[in-house]
Structure 1
Amino acid sequence: MRRRQALRAGTPAVLLALAAGLVAACSSAVQVTPAARADTAACAKVARHWPQRVGHLERTKTTSDSPTVAAWGDPAVIARCGVTSPGPTTEQCITVNGVDWVAHRLSDGVRFVSFGRDPAVEVLVPHDYAPEPLLLPAFAQAAKQVPQGQRHCTASG
């Protein structure tokens, strides 16, 4: 009889622990919306080449079921395919592993968009991983699935 009472007394605690675990698991998915042109054949190719790891960061779940978005770590590095390719710009343009990227500083990190490729790949890197461009090599294989157009980074951006 004592054993049953112990199990009954422990049951609410076990249920509470399970519920807390489920809430934590649900809230750990990174909120991401697919880009406007995510449904292109080029983005389907990109999605097959997302890296498993970005630096030391493991891939994590997103709220989207689209393979054209992906996330790694906490805070999350987020990648999406299907954003609008940038036109001529005065923002910083860098080349990393054969891929040109336009960098735009945000209040909480840097937004990189592949340059000269349409549709473009977007990578959002939080300040926690500064210097942010050091994570871009992980995305070269994916970004190269979209052919390079005529636009390239130049010395002036």
Structure 2
Amino acid sequence: MHGRRALTRASVAASALAVVLAGCGEGAVRAVPFDATDSAPCQEVAELWPDTIGPYESRVTAVQSGGVAAWGEPPIVARCGKPPPGPTTDPCIDVNGVDWVATQLDDGGTMFTTFGREPALEVLVPADYDSHPMLLPPFGDAAEVVPQTLGECSSAPG
């Protein structure tokens, strides 16, 4: 079972503020990479970012790192290199063998973070999209590059 600790609104807001998305329509998507975004595991992850997320095409990013990618408008942003999440009360779900923590953001979007993998992957889904976990399967191959050695999601015994 993964541990439980509430994330403060400040920590969620700080994480959400780490990504600054480009304004309207055209232009490269700007995002702040994590310190480990250019690590060897994240370089491998970058090779396996999906070409599309459902009907959403990939976007050019204004970041000099393959560890950051984006799709759609407004952009769904993925970043590799995030420190792994600790215990949380947020839902932890298994999507095709990859565990993800789903954190609702103050702006109505959802932050999905791989659980049990270091470095972690983060996928930010704006409120404009249905943030159902079914957006996550295209990230499976990329996420599986990083071994799940820090534990797994599990339900509390009933």
TM-score after normalising by structure 2: 0.79
| Conserved? CA contact 1:126–1:132, under 8 Å | no
| Conserved? CA contact 1:110–1:132, under 8 Å | no
Q: Aligned residue pairs: how many?
A: 132
Larger relative contact order (Cα-Cα within 8 Å, sequence gap ≥ 6): 2
**Matching of residues 8-23 of structure 1 within 5 Å:** none
| Stretches (4+) displaced over 3 A | none
Measure the CA separation in 2 of the matches of 1:127 and 1:80.
18
Residues 151/136 of structure 1: CA separation in 2 closer, same or farther (3 Å cut): same
Q: What value does the CA root-mean-square deviation take over the aligned residues?
A: 1.5
Provide the residue aligned with 1:86 in structure 2.
85
**Matching of residues 119-138 of structure 1 within 5 Å:** 119-138=119-138
Shift of 1:60: 0.5
Shift of 1:131: 3.7
The one-letter code of the counterpart of 2:147 is P
Provide the residue aligned with 2:50 in structure 1.
51
The one-letter code of the counterpart of 1:111 is M
**Matching of residues 23-102 of structure 1 within 5 Å:** 28-102=27-101
Per-residue Cα deviation, 1:3-28 (whole angstroms, up to 9, x for no partner): xxxxxxxxxxxxxxxxxxxxx88x52
Question: Identity of paired residues, percent?
Answer: 49
Shift of 1:121: 0.3
| Conserved? CA contact 2:94–2:153, under 8 Å | yes
| Conserved? CA contact 2:117–2:148, under 8 Å | yes
Measure the CA separation in 2 of the matches of 1:85 and 1:144.
14
* Structure 1, gaps ≥5 residues long: 1-23
| Conserved? CA contact 1:84–1:118, under 8 Å | yes
Residues 28/37 of structure 1: CA separation in 2 closer, same or farther (3 Å cut): same
Measure the CA separation in 1 of the matches of 2:129 and 2:135.
8
Measure the CA separation in 1 of the matches of 2:111 and 2:77.
10
| Conserved? CA contact 1:125–1:132, under 8 Å | no
Helix, strand or coil at the partner of 1:151: coil
TM-score after normalising by structure 1: 0.80
Measure the CA separation in 2 of the matches of 1:68 and 1:39.
6
| Conserved? CA contact 1:34–1:80, under 8 Å | yes
Helix, strand or coil at the partner of 1:70: strand
The one-letter code of the counterpart of 1:66 is S
Larger radius of gyration: 1
